[in-house]
Amino acid sequence: MLARAEGLQSKPYASARAFLDAMEKAGPGCLLLDICMPDMSGLELQEELKKRACPLPVIILTGHGDVPTAVRAMQAGAQDFIEKPFDSEDLMERVHRCLDNEARGRRLDQLRQEASNRITRLTPRESQIMELLVAGRRNKEIAQELFISFRTVELHRAKIMEKLETKSFSDVVRMSLLHNMG
């Protein structure tokens, strides 16, 4: 009810196993897990999600909170840990924060994938020259290091920017950094 009142869609699951069975169909979002759930605790589910590389952020809710449990949840990757009873506004603020973080993560993953797809268009020589350019080398230094002409480096640089569909060299650097993050 809280989620719907905030204009968010939500879907309850009868158990952790029910969620795991339906996980492939789950879209972007945030999971609210209780420590005490049927068939598997929230912490056990969280560990299983980590094994399956599930990207959904987790908020752990519990009426039986203690410091070791909170530490375990956070070490396993929970975004937040809330003790019951909780304030509805506080909970929804934390849910919105998780959703925002998840959306940023998805966008970053998209950008990384796009950068990698574009960088695979480069020839081995273009990749080599791009790495040297990104490392801060000047065209003249690259020409000397690779035993090619200054003009050839300039042509490769132009081709790199064309294949990467960039307008400036700072975009090339950004794309290289994104590619190397993945």
> pLDDT tens digit string along 32-43?
999 888 889 888
Which band of pLDDT confidence, cut at 50, 70 and 90, is reported for residue 90? very high
What the chain holds in terms of domains, given with CATH numbers, is 2-114 (3.40.50.2300), 120-181 (1.10.10.10)
Average pLDDT over every residue of 96-114? 93
pLDDT at 181 (0 to 100): 83
pLDDT at 182 (0 to 100): 63
The per-residue pLDDT for range 43-72, each reduced to its tens digit, is 899 999 989 988 889 999 888 777 888 888
pLDDT at 168 (0 to 100): 94
Which band of pLDDT confidence, cut at 50, 70 and 90, is reported for residue 108? very high
Which band of pLDDT confidence, cut at 50, 70 and 90, is reported for residue 153? very high
- Can you tell me the distance from the alpha carbon of 42 to that of 39, in angstroms, rounded to the nearest whole number? 10
Phi, psi (degrees; rounded to nearest 5) at 96: -60, -40
- Can you tell me the distance from the alpha carbon of 1 to that of 168, in angstroms, rounded to the nearest whole number? 48
Which stretch, 8-22, 51-65, 129-143, has highest mean pLDDT?
129-143
Give CA separation, 22 vs 30, 35, 63, 142, 170, in Å. 15, 20, 26, 53, 43
Q: Which spans in the chain are helix H? A: 2-5, 16-22, 42-51, 67-75, 88-119, 124-134, 139-146, 150-163, 169-181
pTM above 0.85, yes or no: no
Q: Give 80-125 as a DSSP string.
A: EEEESS--HHHHHHHHHHHHHHHHHHHHHHHHHHHHHHHHTTS-HH
Exposed e or buried b for every residue in 148-161, given b needs 16+ CB within 10 A?
eeeeebeebbebbb
pLDDT at 109 over 80: yes
Phi, psi (degrees; rounded to nearest 5) at 125: -65, -40
Residue with the two structure tokens 């699951």: 13
pLDDT at 26 (0 to 100): 79
Give CA separation, 172 vs 6, 127, 134, 139, 165, in Å. 40, 11, 8, 15, 9
pLDDT at 165 over 90: yes
Which band of pLDDT confidence, cut at 50, 70 and 90, is reported for residue 5? confident
In terms of Cα–Cα distance, which of 37, 90, 82 is closest to 58? Answer: 82
pLDDT at 139 (0 to 100): 96
Q: Retrieve residue 69's tokens.
A: 């449990």
